[in-house]
């Protein structure tokens, strides 16, 4: 909400309204924001029904949010807001501005470094909470150096090179690629660190000295994390181009083109017929793989055919939980790794999510390095839904070091959070499986059924 005084635009924010958390959604063009209290001028319930608002048709509390460049709509349910943006807009600029217009981030959200604070005009402003901004310079996925910048602007940013291990590996890369290594250098934003200091900032008599200590501590912690994330074998793989076992092609369940022949190829119309046949059989109580289901799996296994037909078949197979067995899982997993079209790989990732088979986790970890941003985003979400164990968290953290796309890095970080909660046995935020399945199981449990 705003009022005008002497041509100066001044923002009025309810004292207790803050954004307590930001979460990803199944749609990469939408984020879920949770407030600590409902918007005063919006009336909804905490159920599944809510209201959608657009620019020019919204309450005062959402006027500035919808005025943000790239924001398309806001869906409100109780204290939860789903922000949808134009596909061409960047979350890296949209999300901080939206959070700011809603009252700013809560303490936990600010400490996470996921969303940087912004000024009332939507531009990034300097943190005054002791947060040290970290950047990592890379080329050809090889870390080069780290930069740490304070919050006041009075201290010069400090850069530090990595250990001799990285220097040796970098030298080999330069020998192989020459000028391409230097031309490919880029700085990646790594968020903010909030190092613990011996003396609280508010109690310090020399704030600049305290800021320098914070910068040094944050830089040391970041360097240690990178050292741990890149053991010798990982550096060697960057130099020599070897692929991890998780990226190996899954051939189980696939058929060679010569064996399958053109008879295995299907048109979209034929896929629809087989889908109807299989669905009808399931409705009559068939719990195993039908002839129609096997033909759909064989079609997907060929790796050929019209894109629309393949997309339809892959999506349908994902919904046949428990009926297709290993054959269905294997062909979808192979499609996730091997389909030439990024859109089909993403559809296969959706299907693996629907199947809910934990064997998809190492495959998804391999796909965190997929050339397509959309597939990397889907892979991170899949790992967050099904992954467990310390090694999975470590793999997600490693992937963040190489990720340049904001929404992908955010999803990887959020997935690591979910897996860590699951490792601790926490149900709040650490539930397993896609959200629709968690909701379905929760409703079934509330009804006293098994789901």
Q: What is the mean pLDDT of the chain?
A: 79
DSSP letters for 7-60: TEEEE---TT--EEEEEE-SSTTEEEEEESS--TT----SSS--EEEETTBS-G
Give me the pLDDT at residue 122, please.
42
pLDDT the model gives residue 426:
65
Residue range of the domain that includes 238: 132-242
One domain, residues 151 and 176: yes
Measure the CA–CA gap between 374 and 393, rounded to whole angstroms: 21
CATH of the domain at 97: 3.30.1370.70
- Per-residue pLDDT at 434: 65
pLDDT tens-digit series, residues 57-106: 888 888 889 988 889 899 988 888 999 987 677 888 888 889 888 888 88
Specify whether 159 is located in the same domain as 276. Answer: no
Most confident among 126-140, 178-192, 290-304, 429-443 (mean pLDDT): 290-304
* Nearby residues of 38 by Cβ (< 8 Å), 6 or more positions away: 44, 78, 79
What predicted TM-score, i.e. pTM, was given to this entire model?
Answer: 0.63
Which pLDDT does position 432 carry in this prediction?
66
Instruction: Say if 402 falls within a structural domain.
Output: yes
Residues 289 and 363 in one domain: yes
382 near 434, Cβ under 8 Å? no
Question: How far apart, in Å, do the first and last CA atoms of the chain sit?
Answer: 45
Asked whether residue 317 falls in the same domain as residue 302, the answer is: yes
SS (H, E, C) 274-311: HHHHHHHHHHCCCCCCCHHHHHHHHHHHHCCCCHHHHH
Share of the chain above pLDDT 70, in %: 76
Per-residue pLDDT tens over the stretch 13-43: 444 578 888 888 888 888 889 988 888 887 7
pLDDT digits (tens, 9 = 90+) for 317-364: 999 988 888 999 999 999 999 998 888 999 999 999 999 999 999 999
Regarding whether 265 and 221 lie in a shared domain, the answer is no
Residue 306 sits in the same domain as residue 439: yes
Of 129-138, 188-197, 278-287, 407-416, where does mean pLDDT reach its minimum? 188-197
């Amino acid at each position: 909400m705003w009022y005008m005084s002497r041509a100066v635009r001044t923002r009025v924010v309810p004292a207790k309204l803050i954004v307590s958390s930001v979460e990803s959604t199944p749609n990469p063009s939408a984020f879920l924001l949770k407030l600590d209290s409902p918007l005063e001028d919006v009336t909804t319930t905490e159920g599944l029904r809510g209201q959608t608002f657009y620019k020019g048709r919204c309450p005062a509390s959402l006027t500035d949010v919808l005025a943000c460049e790239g924001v398309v709509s806001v869906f409100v349910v109780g204290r939860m807001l789903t922000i949808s943006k134009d596909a061409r807009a960047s979350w890296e600029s949209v999300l901080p501005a939206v959070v700011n217009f809603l009252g700013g981030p809560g303490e936990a959200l600010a400490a996470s470094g996921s969303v940087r604070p912004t000024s009332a005009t939507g531009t990034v402003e300097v943190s005054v909470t002791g947060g040290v901004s970290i950047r990592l310079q890379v080329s050809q996925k090889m870390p080069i150096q780290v930069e740490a910048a304070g919050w006041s602007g009075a201290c010069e940013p400090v850069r530090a090179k990595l250990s001799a291990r990285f220097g040796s590996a970098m030298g080999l890369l330069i020998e192989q690629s020459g000028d391409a290594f230097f031309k490919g250098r880029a700085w990646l934003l790594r968020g903010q660190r909030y190092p613990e200091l011996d003396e609280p900032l508010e109690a310090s008599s020399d704030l600049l000295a305290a800021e320098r200590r914070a910068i040094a501590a944050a830089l040391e912690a970041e360097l240690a994390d990178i050292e741990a994330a890149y053991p010798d074998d990982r550096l060697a793989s960057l130099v020599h181009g070897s692929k991890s076992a998780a990226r190996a092609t899954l051939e189980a369940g696939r058929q060679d083109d010569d064996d399958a022949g053109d008879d295995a190829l299907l048109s979209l119309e034929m896929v629809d017929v087989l889908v109807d046949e299989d669905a009808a059989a399931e409705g009559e109580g068939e719990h195993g793989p039908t002839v129609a289901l096997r033909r759909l799996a064989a079609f997907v296994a060929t790796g050929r055919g019209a894109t629309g037909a393949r997309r339809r078949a892959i999506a349908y197979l994902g919904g046949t939980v428990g009926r297709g067995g290993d054959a269905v899982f294997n062909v979808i997993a192979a499609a996730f790794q091997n389909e030439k079209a990024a859109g089909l790989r993403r559809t296969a990732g959706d299907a693996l999510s629907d199947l809910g088979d934990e064997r998809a986790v190492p495959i998804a970890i391999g796909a965190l390095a997929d050339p397509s941003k959309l597939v990397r985003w889907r892979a991170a979400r899949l790992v967050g839904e099904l992954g467990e164990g310390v090694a999975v968290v470590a793999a997600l953290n490693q992937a963040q070091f190489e990720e340049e796309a904001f929404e992908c890095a955010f999803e990887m970080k959020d997935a690591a959070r979910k897996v860590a909660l699951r490792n601790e046995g926490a149900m709040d935020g650490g539930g397993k499986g896609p959200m629709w399945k968690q909701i379905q199981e929760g409703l079934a449990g509330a009804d006293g059924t098994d789901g």
